Every structure is written in C-alpha cells, then in structure tokens.
Amino acid sequence: MKTFLLLLLTVALTPMSDQYHEADQAIMVYYSPKTTICLDFTYTEKTETAGEFAEYAEELLGITDAIAESKTTYTLKDVEIKTHTTADLERPHTIRAEKGMPWQLVNIDERGLLAGYNLAPEAKKQTKSTETGATKSKLHTTKVLPYSEETLAAKSEEERAQAVAKQILHLRETRMYLIGGEVENAPADGKAMELVLAELKRQEKQLLELFIGRAEVKILHKEVAHCPAGENDKRWDEVLYFSVDNGFTGADNVDAERIRISAEYQHQIAKKSSNETKAKKDKNAVEFSPIVYNLPGNAQVAVFYRNELVNSKVVPVAQFGMDVPLPKDLFTGKELPKIKFSKRTGNVESITK
C-alpha cells in the first residue's frame, strides 16, 4: 500500500509538460503519393448466328449477304492510358506542433495524402442509387415466331423456307398498301396506323432473320495495371496476345498477334549545391516547414498492336519524384496562405493569400 501511494505521489509531482511531451509533438502523419499506370483496352465481341434457311436466302429473297456460318470474332478498338494514385507508405511525413505555425489547418484526405492547407474540406459527392427496395424478378419468355398456317403445315425444310418467304412478301405488300391508303379497313387515326406498321415491321424482321441470320456485338474491356518501383526502375516492357478468334489469349495461341506495352521512366533528381554545407551553417538560410509537396517524375507510355502505334501518352509518376519542403515563413504572419495540392501527384496546384 505504501509503495502504491508513493507511486501516485511521484506521478502527481511530475510536470505535465514532461509527461505528455512526446504526445504533444507527434500530431499527424501523411504520405507522398504513389502512381499506378492503368491501361484500359476496349474490344468487341461479335457473335454471328446463321439463319435456319440461309441456303435459300438468295434463291427465294435475293439476299446475297446472309450469314451462312455461326461464329464469334473479336476486334481490338482502343486503349486508354490512365493513372491511379495511392499513398506511398515508404515515404511518410510527420507534422509536429510548432509555436507560431497553425498546423491545425492542414488537410489530409482519406487516402492519407496531403490535400491542402487552410482550405475548406471538399464535400463528398453523393451518388444516387438507381436500385429500389423492391426486388424485380426476370420472367423467362419464349420467342414465338409469327408463322402462317401454310408454314406450320410444311413437311420439309425447303417447303418451310418457301412458305416463310411468301409470308415475308405478304407482310411487305400489306405495309405498302396501308401506307398508300389502299386498304378498306385501315386504322382510323395516325397513332393506330403507326402501331400497325410497327407490328408488321417487327414480324418481318423476325422472319427475315431465319434467312439472313443474326449478329450481336458486345463491348468488352480488359485492364492492365502496373506500379513502377523505386529509383532503380528505368522502364516497363510487357507483351500481351490478342486473337481474332479468341480475344485476349496466351502466347501459345498460333493465331494471336502481339500487343507490346513500352514505358520509359524519367526520375526527378535533386541537384546538390556545392555551397550546401555552407548554407546549413548560414544563419540566414531558409528554414523549412514540415509541409512537403511532391515534384513528380514521368513515364512515356506507348502501346503497339500489329507493330503499329495505338496510343502514346506522357503520364506523371509520383514515386519517381522528390519531396520539396515549403519554407516555414510562408505559414507565419497575419495572412495565412491557401494551398491546394494535386490529388494525382502531390505537387502544388495553387498558392493564394
């Protein structure tokens, strides 16, 4: 009991400034940014389905470009070169409480990156959800072709093709007579006429697909991401393979063609002055603040397909940059600066007072 009371007395007599000295000093930590290079390839998948009566298309309807064979083909359309920024955990910076410098005005975003100084925090954008509370169920629907009685009664494929061709021609004639006003019981008003014509066109399209086939095109994406390393990283070279028959595939596909990604890196190198040692001893030398911006390097990215350039772009790479502290006297005085830092690179975008 005596020992416990003595311990309490010792703590009570210890000055508060000594107890919390370390806690008062370490206020906040932020990081320099790190860049990931992202390539977004856009390509299409075209699925062609042969018509059931494709072999009779030219004979019965004069169609010469009917799809005779079902197949799927892929076409590379474009590649977009973008960047994504995260915190570089290997480049931390600590802001400590200092007399005469309002450190509380430092803005750090949710990624741990320096966002600004003496600026109002940006309001978060609210995305409106298009989903409702009710669950929508998808009903399975069966596609019913508008066959005529003659078509249904046909016994062979050739007879069915002839009956469907005759029905297509009849639908075309009916539509032509309606437009020309040659039908006795035509719809009385324009809206009703529009609906009847649309229905005739729909039926014709369904039956026509039995001869010409059907083609569907989907737009697809493939993303490739690469995060350059440190100062020893000089370039990025990567090869992908793309096939007309299979899309993105492996190197073992004999029909595939090469997509070459090439990037050359340029690092920011701090220039050391010969008078650096002398400047440190000079009483009038600039005193720096703990607020550090990033002067980024860059990468010249190029993408080649079939030995032809598809896209080329110079993008900033934050981790190839160097940290530059702002002078301390910028944050002292009656009128404090408003500083905005780039979300992509950590560089200074603007300084105003």
Rounded Cα distance between 77 and 226, Å, is: 21
State pLDDT tens for residues 253-263: 989 999 999 99
Rounded Cα distance between 263 and 315, Å, is: 10
DSSP string, 258-284: EEEEEEEEE---PPPPTTHHHHHH-TT
DSSP string, 132-182: -SSPPPPPP--------HHHHH--SHHHHHHHHHHHHHHHHHHHHHHHHT-
If one compares 226 and 143, the residue with the highest pLDDT of the two is: 226
pLDDT value, residue 248: 97
DSSP 3-state of 209: helix
Q: Cα torsion for 145, 149, 152, 157, to the nearest 10°?
A: -100
In degrees rounded to 5, what are phi and psi of residue 288?
-95, 150
Amino acid occupying residue 218: K
Domain ranges, ordered by start, for the chain: 26-51+71-121+218-352, 149-216
Rounded Cα distance between 317 and 265, Å, is: 8
User: 326: closest CA among 103, 27, 120, 90?
Assistant: 103
The answer to whether residue 22 scores a pLDDT higher than 60 is no
In this predicted structure, which of 59-68, 98-107, 120-129 has the lowest mean pLDDT? Answer: 120-129
User: 29: closest CA among 106, 95, 88?
Assistant: 95
The answer to whether residue 7 scores a pLDDT higher than 70 is no
State pLDDT tens for residues 174-233: 888 887 777 666 777 778 888 888 999 999 999 999 999 999 999 999 999 999 987 778
State pLDDT tens for residues 273-301: 544 555 455 656 778 888 999 999 999 99
pLDDT value, residue 270: 67
Q: Cα torsion for 97, 103, 106, 112, to the nearest 10°?
A: 0
pLDDT value, residue 123: 66
pTM: 0.75
If one compares 253 and 26, the residue with the highest pLDDT of the two is: 253
